[in-house]
Amino acid sequence: MAGSAAPEFSLPATGGKTIALSDFAGRKLVIYFYPKDNTPGCTQEGLQFKELHAEFVRLGADILGVSRDSVKSHENFKAKMEFPFELISDPEELMCAAYGVMKLKNMYGKQVRGIERSTFVINEKGEISREWRGVKVPGHAREVLEFVATL
């Protein structure tokens, strides 16, 4: 997908907003897909992006988190963790499908469909500059920041 146009989206998000890719025209955008609000790995990942948020902003990049949780769940998660960025609700997996992040995973010996933790950096022209799939949380936000600094 790197080098191709980022898939368009327009979905409900925290703060009573509907967020679309076109809202970020001319800016860099980091979109991270995570499995579920208020789970240990997803909380850690969000907190790492929160910790580096000012540095992303300084580099002209916005951050969006995306999962299948409801806007209400996102509002609670965002407030509890004091995330300075919006979370997009994608219960129908429209954006997840467009970015190809839905995978079959093994959980307690059962096959379940879920979001593969993935991050995409979109450049000012609306193209995917880089993608990470099957993300391991420790150090990931810093690695994304270092990549954004090269754009």
Average pLDDT over residues 78-89: 98
Report pLDDT digits (tens) over 6-26.
999 999 999 999 999 999 999
pLDDT at 1 over 80: no
**pTM score of the predicted model:** 0.95
Sorted by sequence, the CB contacts under 8 Å of residue 87 that are 6+ apart come out as 13, 14, 37, 64, 65, 66, 67, 69, 74, 77, 78
Report pLDDT digits (tens) over 51-77.
999 999 999 999 999 999 999 999 999
pLDDT at residue 112, rounded to an integer: 86
Cα-based torsion angle of the residue sequence 128, 118, 27, 65 in order, rounded to the nearest 10 degrees: 150
The yes-or-no answer on residue 96 being catalytic is no
What 3-state class would DSSP assign to 21?
helix
Q: In one letter, which amino acid is 83?
A: F
What 3-state class would DSSP assign to 117?
coil
Assess contact for 95 and 88: CB atoms under 8 A: yes
Average pLDDT over residues 125-142: 96
pLDDT at residue 110, rounded to an integer: 86
CA-based end-to-end distance of the chain: 17
Q: Which domains does the chain have, with CATH numbers?
A: 28-148 (3.40.30.10)
Catalytic option among 42, 52, 64, 66: 42
In the chain, where does DSSP find H-type helix? 40-51, 53-58, 71-81, 94-98, 140-148
C-alpha–C-alpha distance, residues 104 and 111, integer Å: 6
pLDDT at residue 40, rounded to an integer: 94
Report pLDDT digits (tens) over 85-122.
999 999 999 999 999 999 988 878 888 889 999 999 99
pLDDT at residue 32, rounded to an integer: 98
At residue 2 the predicted structure's pLDDT band, cuts being 50, 70 and 90, is: confident
